[in-house]
Amino acid sequence: MAFTLWDILRNLLLAARWTVLLSIVGFVCGGSLGVLLLMLRVGPNRVLRTAVALHVEVFQGTPLLMQLFLVFFGLPLVGVDVEPWLVAGLALTLSASAYLTEIWRGCVEAIPLGQWDAAASLGLHRLQQLRLVILPQALRIAVAPTVGFFVQLVKSTALTSIIGFDELLKTANVINNATFEPFTVYGVVALIYFALCFPLSSCARLLERRLQGSGGLAT
Amino acid sequence: MEYHLEFGWLADSLVAIANGVVITVGLTVATAILGIGVSILGAAGRRSGRAWLRGLVAGYVELIRNTPFIVQMFFIFFGLPSLGIRFNALAAAVLAMTVNLGAYGTEIMRAGLDAVPPGQREAGRALGMHGASIFLLIVLPQALRNIFPALASQIVITMLESAVVSQIAVRDLTYEADLIQSRTFRAFETYLLITFIYLALSVALRRTLRTIGRGLLGKGVG
């Protein structure tokens, strides 16, 4: 059976669904875990603060590929059946949580300390200070780098092809093995990733510029 | 069922691990040097008076920054031979890593060059210096000082991403890990150890870069 360019394109576009889905799952789960870790990271408990800092250091200081392998070979040791989607989702969640915690911590720490004092003087306790006063302000500066990280996450999903998750790149490898047209196949794959990522990066840049234009933080 | 971690295989694998570390570090050093060169050229091109050159560099930066590294590497290693451009795996890895670091580096370098006040250039001209020496002796060193931390973390990221070159059979640290675990059937232990080696490498690389930066560009860098 001969593959036309249209066959290649159609199959790759269909596979791109899984890239998009995995990116969203990684972002939502990683973001939720990230919020939790952020609370601990800026919280009063020193042991927990250090533990989160360590989590960030380990996941930002090691290759994502190693993290994928560790989850892939580690899950069976605790008696969980290995499914590529589970490995991919779990590894990306852990990795994304580390990056997002660190990005958001930077945003929280950019808020002047006087805001914490002011919130405390209103009688709010620590969690309320964070939720009602600090986070709404930090959120404004967090949007652009968060969107920027999402681009990084979309690109990271390509590595899950190595542990056998059938996303865009894995499908490309299969099609390439059938068609022997690596130039076309990987060229089209690159263009699909570009089509996914470029609007997001442009959006991140626009948001950043708008924030700078508005004078950044209110102090 | 109880599973016990087992590291008895380690003694026989030390040489292989050391070889892998040498390749990974070698790739990183080669890429860092070439990549910084590309970044300087790219940033200079991005500020050139020729619109086509600016557009070309902008296109390169956006294309690389919005596609995964592994796809870029596969395109270079598997795709380009259809055009008659062939590389061995190691050359393809260095090329892919350099092209990748060069794109991120161009953006970083551009921000650094933009931050140097125009008065510095004018001062150089007042001293009778010409364009190239103003750029190399006055503007570039100041730009490098400002952006060194960003450049250093991009180099660390490049080192971590280099784990992927094992996929085109470059014998880096990850490739050696693949071989060890297929021999010992101790996959989790192997990758756990290799992960910690990568962690140690990234900490060491960050420190080394800071020391180099301070030595070359003066105190207060990084």
Which of B66, B69, B160 lies closest to A201 in CB terms? B66
pLDDT at B101: 98
Domains of chain B by range and CATH?
10-217 (1.10.3720.10)
* DSSP 8-state symbol, B164: G
Structure tokens at B181: 């675990």
Question: Angle A5-41/A168-179 helices, nearest 10 degrees?
Answer: 150
A186, A172 Cβ separation under 8 angstroms: yes
pLDDT at A104: 96
Radius of gyration for the alpha carbons in chain A, expressed in angstroms and rounded: 21
Instruction: Tell me which of B3, B65, B72, B74 to substitute to probe the interface with A (most A C-beta atoms closer than 10 Å).
Output: B74
Which of B71, B164, B191 lies closest to A70 in CB terms? B191
Looking at CA atoms only, how far is residue A60 from chain B in angstroms? 9
Whole-angstrom distance, CA of residue B217 vs CA of residue B214: 5
Instruction: Tell me which of A22, A55, A155 to substitute to probe the interface with B (most B C-beta atoms closer than 10 Å).
Output: A155
pLDDT tens for residues A91-149?
A: 999 999 999 999 999 999 999 999 999 999 999 988 889 889 998 999 999 999 999 99
pLDDT at A211: 82
Instruction: Tell me which of B21, B61, B66, B181 to substitute to probe the interface with A (most A C-beta atoms closer than 10 Å).
Output: B66
Q: Nearest-CA neighbor of A26 among A72, A90, A74?
A: A90
A150, A27 Cβ separation under 8 angstroms: yes
Looking at CA atoms only, how far is residue B203 from chain A in angstroms? 8
**Confidence band, pLDDT 50/70/90 cuts, at residue A43:** confident
| Lowest pLDDT segment from A2-16, A180-194, B65-79, B145-159 | A2-16
**Confidence band, pLDDT 50/70/90 cuts, at residue A13:** very high
pLDDT at A215: 53
Q: Where are the alpha helices (DSSP H) in A75-134?
A: 84-110, 113-121, 126-128
Radius of gyration for the alpha carbons in chain B, expressed in angstroms and rounded: 21
Q: Nearest chain A residue to B74 by CA: give it.
A: A186
Which whole number is the average pLDDT over A19-25? 97
A193 pLDDT higher than 80: yes
Cα within 13 Å of Cα(A137), Cβ side: 20
pLDDT at A219: 43
pLDDT tens for residues A48-104?
A: 999 999 999 999 999 999 999 999 999 999 989 889 999 999 999 999 999 999 999
**Confidence band, pLDDT 50/70/90 cuts, at residue A210:** confident
Domains of chain A by range and CATH?
5-213 (1.10.3720.10)
**Confidence band, pLDDT 50/70/90 cuts, at residue A218:** very low
B85 class by beta-carbon count within 10 Å (0-12 exposed, 13-18 middle, 19+ buried): exposed
Whole-angstrom distance, CA of residue B73 vs CA of residue B100: 9
Whole-angstrom distance, CA of residue B185 vs CA of residue B167: 20
In this complex, is the C-beta atom of B164 within 8 Å of any C-beta atom belonging to chain A?
Answer: yes
Per-residue model confidence as pLDDT tens for chain B (222 residues): 567 888 888 888 999 999 999 999 999 999 999 999 999 999 999 988 899 999 999 999 999 999 999 999 999 999 999 999 999 999 999 999 999 999 999 999 999 999 999 999 999 999 999 888 998 899 999 999 989 999 999 999 999 999 999 999 999 999 999 999 999 999 999 999 999 999 999 999 999 999 999 988 876 665
In this complex, is the C-beta atom of B75 within 8 Å of any C-beta atom belonging to chain A?
Answer: yes
- Mind giving me the DSSP string for B99-134? HHHHHHHHHHHHHHHHHS-HHHHHHHHHTT--HHHI
pLDDT at B131: 83
pLDDT at B219: 67
pTM to 2 decimals? Answer: 0.92
In this complex, is the C-beta atom of A64 within 8 Å of any C-beta atom belonging to chain B?
Answer: yes
Sign of CA dihedral B99, A162, A61, A107: positive
Whole-angstrom distance, CA of residue A193 vs CA of residue B63: 10
Sign of CA dihedral A203, A167, A64, A193: negative
Residues of chain B found within 8 Å of residue A73, distances taken between Cβ atoms? 181, 187-188, 191
Predicted complex ipTM: 0.91
Structure tokens at A52: 């989160």
Looking at CA atoms only, how far is residue A147 from chain B in angstroms? 13
**B195–A198 CB contact, under 8 Å:** no
Residues of chain B found within 8 Å of residue A58, distances taken between Cβ atoms? 199
Which of A63, A67, A77 lies closest to B188 in CB terms? A77
